[in-house]
Amino acid sequence: MKTSRISGFYRKPVEERKELILDMMELNGGERSAFFPTEPLELEIADHMVENVVGTFPLPLGVGLNFLINDKEYAVPMAIEEASVIASASHIAKIVRDAGGFKASSGERLMIGQIQVVGCPDFEEAKAAVLNEKSELIEICNDAYPSLIQRGGGVRDLDVRILNEHEDSDYSKMLIVHIYADTCDAMGANMINTMAEAAAPRVELLTKGKVYLRILSNYAVKSLARATCIIPPSLLKTGDFDGEAVRDGVIHAYEFAASDPFRAVTHNKGIMNGIDPVVIATGNDWRAVEAGAHAYAARSGQYSSMSVWSKDEAGNLVGELELPMSIGTVGGATRVHPMAQMALKMLDIKSASELAQVIVSVGLAQNLGALKALATDGIQKGHMALHARSVAVAAGATGELIEIIAEKMIETKEIRSGKAKELVEEYTL
């Protein structure tokens, strides 16, 4: 893979951008011509994915550039409808690469399944009985999904929690069995659900209670991925703001989000602006990732910032983001969706852990992009430039004229379709 630092990419026509990505990936011949699907999602495939299909719903797919993560180059596919997001991620990725790139890591990758048991005559006895038969229950789970064992995965552990033991209502007292499974490179929802359902009858016998729910938990705290970056202030300088001022503004913005849920929600939305587009482009379940990420942001008991920004002893800006990442690189929509397959090829990743690390790095970049803009010029300046371009396109501008007309409208502070039409006529006479 060649460098993902491709200057002037955004100014090129779409077909040329595609060629540049293929060049970056060092593809040749047949690999090149087969890389970008001719049809993003055929109706026939869509019809097998969900029910009552009447069409498909395309989103723009852009590429986040300049990403250097653990010394590896990445072109990051991002599917999103919101303007500025991809430009901002690429802008920050460039700053971070100049500072040495993102460092990312992930530990164990275990998905969690839950079995809910109610009406146990004695909850402590029931808990002891389940723990006593741990190995047998793990075996039942593993027998329910033999192909996972063949691939080196399977249930690694099991534990039990008792909820609301001292409450009066029999509805609220319950015993929860957690199973922890290595689902290899799959997100693993089906595997976990199958295993939980398979173990439930034995759990009922052991606990003398009644099993209700048997389902994956999207609070994937045993599948955490982390990204960090350390940026010298000299790289943060922007317009009239020196690097130290930008750094301090970012830290103040973080402290605001860390202490105030009203701000934290928006701050975290900015992080998910980076995360969701990659999750979507790779065919993963973005609702699962969203739910887990927001729950993790509230793990202290108060909903807070997902990221942490601080200053180290040398005065560098230090950013950190750790989130649960229930994603996969095999199975589900990643297997059938041609664009998801293409996105995974573009990322050139070897495992779900690696994908998780890329995703949190993009989230951290996106967060810094928003905070840097908010703590300096405000975000409207950048948004207005993009808005002006789309007003120019809607008024009929094409090619180089789009930029010229957009700039004219910004200059005269008249970003509206009437003005754009006037300018189109003026320039095309």
- Interface residue list for ligand MEV (CB under 6 A): 82, 266-267, 269-270, 273, 370-371, 374, 379
Smallest distance from the beta carbon of 370 to ligand MEV, in angstroms? Answer: 4
Cα 204 to chain centroid, rounded: 37
Whole-number Å distance between alpha carbons of 218 and 278:
18
Q: What angle do CA 261, 267, 269 make, to 5 degrees?
A: 105
383 catalytic residue (yes or no): yes
- Catalytic entry in 294, 383, 387, 421: 383
- Closer residue to ligand MEV in complex, CB, 236/355: 236
Q: What angle do CA 368, 370, 375 make, to 5 degrees?
A: 90
Smallest distance from the beta carbon of 374 to ligand MEV, in angstroms? Answer: 6
285 catalytic residue (yes or no): yes
- Closer residue to ligand MEV in complex, CB, 188/277: 277
- Closer residue to ligand MEV in complex, CB, 155/280: 280
* Burial readout 391-417 (b: 16 or more C-beta within 10 A, e: otherwise): bbeebebeeebbeebbebbbeeeebee
- Catalytic entry in 16, 42, 82, 125: 82
Cα 47 to chain centroid, rounded: 26
- Catalytic entry in 134, 178, 208, 269: 269
- Closer residue to ligand MEV in complex, CB, 123/309: 309
- Strands 154-163 and 174-182, by their bridges, are antiparallel
269 catalytic residue (yes or no): yes
Backbone angles phi, psi at 185, to 5 degrees: -95, 10
Q: Pick from 304, 257, 262, 288: which is nearest to 190 by CA?
A: 288
Smallest distance from the beta carbon of 272 to ligand MEV, in angstroms? Answer: 9
Smallest distance from the beta carbon of 307 to ligand MEV, in angstroms? Answer: 10
Smallest distance from the beta carbon of 277 to ligand MEV, in angstroms? Answer: 12
- Closer residue to ligand MEV in complex, CB, 273/282: 273
- Beta carbons of 179 and 155 less than 8 angstroms apart: yes
Q: Which residue minimizes CB distance to ligand MEV?
A: 270
- List alpha helices for 145-188, DSSP H: 146-150
Structure tokens at 377: 């010029």
Q: Which residues are catalytic?
A: 82, 269, 285, 383
